[in-house]
Amino acid sequence: MGNESKRANKSPLSAREGKVFIDGTLVADTCKFQLVFTPKVWEGKTLNEHGTNRRWIGYDITGTIEQWKTNSMFKKKVMNYIKNGKTPEFQIQGKSDDKNCDYYEKKGDSVTAVGCVMTGDIPLMELDTDGDVVKESIKFGAKDLV
């Protein structure tokens, strides 16, 4: 049996422990948040090398917020755009605060995406006789991370 009984449990990061803020306001009804960094990669070969050389030459930042619909924030942004033609931008911050994981030592983790612009369908209204409660999923792209 050896040292196996003395080992601590592995504590992976829980996706359930955290918060999302849009422009500093807590999105209290968030049920899913994802923020993705995708590098733009240059690839090329040189004479006498069999492998491919690669380097990052830029990036794209995209994400999705899913929330139970309890307010009309996104609809208001759409209506303001239709009225004044100005693209709405957001600052979106995600905070992970699972205090019982091995990922970080009790400090938490945070990332803020700036210059966020909605990029997918924006549900304005949903009615359904077979429906339950409304969940909206908003896709966005960001200019940078801080």
Q: How far apart are CA 97 and CA 13, in angstroms?
A: 9
pLDDT of residue 1: 52
Q: In 3-state terms, what secondary structure has residue 114?
A: strand
Q: How far apart are CA 47 and CA 68, in angstroms?
A: 56
pLDDT of residue 45: 94
pLDDT of residue 8: 62
Burial class of residue 74, CB neighbours in 10 A (0-12, 13-18, 19+): buried
pLDDT of residue 138: 95
Backbone angles phi, psi at 36, to 5 degrees: -125, 135
Q: In 3-state terms, what secondary structure has residue 98?
A: coil
Residues 6 or more apart in contact with residue 122 via CB below 8 angstroms: 74, 75, 78, 138
pLDDT of residue 7: 59
Please give the model's pTM, rounded to 2 decimal places: 0.83
Residues 6 or more apart in contact with residue 110 via CB below 8 angstroms: 93, 94, 95, 96
Q: Taking the domain 14-145, which CATH number applies?
A: 2.30.110
Instruction: Tell me the average confidence (pLDDT) per consecutive run of 10 residues in the chain, 146 residues long.
Output: 59 82 91 96 95 97 94 94 97 87 72 97 92 92 97
